A = this chain, B = another copy of it.
Amino acid sequence: MTQTLHKKQEPTITSVTDLPTSEAKWVTLQKIEYTDQTGKARTWEVASRKTRSAKAGVDAVAIGNILLSPNRAPSTLLVIQYRPPLDAYTVEWPAGLIDENETAEDAAVREFKEETGYEVTKVLSVSPVQAADPGLSNANMQMAMVEVEVPELEGEGEQVLPEQRLEDGEHIERVVIPLGELYEKLVEYSKRERFIVAAKLFHFAAGMDFMKTQKYGL
């Protein structure tokens, strides 16, 4: 993964300017006026996506995935990509916006194929709708958990993976991590310069690690 990133040039921000709400295409700012529990009038500022699927009523789906290969411990495929809002490489599960007329499950299968090149073998579950960052935005998402049966994987971390079907401008590196080492690997990624792990993935891994190491008799 690192090798491939370094073959290309590093993305560089050339300017950051205030964006008038009226000119924004993907995101908007809104002012909510509301009456609170005590009857008092209050306001709240919110950032919203302009792209929410009407059918799903949900912005995005993240794809928790279990890669089952004949010659590997159960693993998970993560994607690493440059994210301009953070000027950093994020480590995430594959994810994407739900298109008009798609369900979260449809979008999970489509996005997984596009971003990783693998076909989902089985959708194990689709979570309830969750609030992505409730103090700041109305963004919401669902997590699909999927199993993916794959052929023998080669190499240590730098596997030969199938071809992706990326949209213009998408540069997504893929890395396969043993599920049993997920938490430790994410802590390692967090220490790398210009890398940051997405909170949802980190929290899932922290929950796994908590369960594994807790001394509360759970």
Contact = CB atoms under 8 A, between A and B. Distances in A.
Interface string A60-83: 100010100000001000000011
Contact of A27 (B82, B136, B201): B136
Identify the interface centre among A169, A180, A207, A210: most chain B CB within 10 Å of its CB.
A207
A123 interface: no
Contact of A49 (B18, B136, B143): B136
A35 interface: yes
Given A27-B46, A216-B66, A211 B206 contact: no
Contacts of A49: 136
- Main secondary structure on A side of the interface with B: mixed
Number of copies: 2
Contacts of A209: 207
A38 to B, nearest CB: 7
Interface residues of A, number: 98
B11 A31 contact: no
Interface in A1-37: 5, 8-22, 24-37
Interface in A98-138: 127-138
Contacts of A203: 130, 143, 199-201, 203-204, 207
A139 interface: yes
A123 to B, nearest CB: 15
A131 B27 contact: no
Kindly list the 6 A-B residue pairs having the minimum CB-CB distance in the complex, ordered from nearest. A207-B207, A128-B190, A47-B47, A211-B211, A44-B84, A130-B199
18 contacts: A11-B37, A14-B33, A17-B30, A18-B29, A29-B29, A42-B169, A90-B131, A127-B206, A128-B187, A128-B197, A129-B190, A130-B198, A132-B132, A133-B136, A200-B200, A201-B203, A203-B207, A207-B211
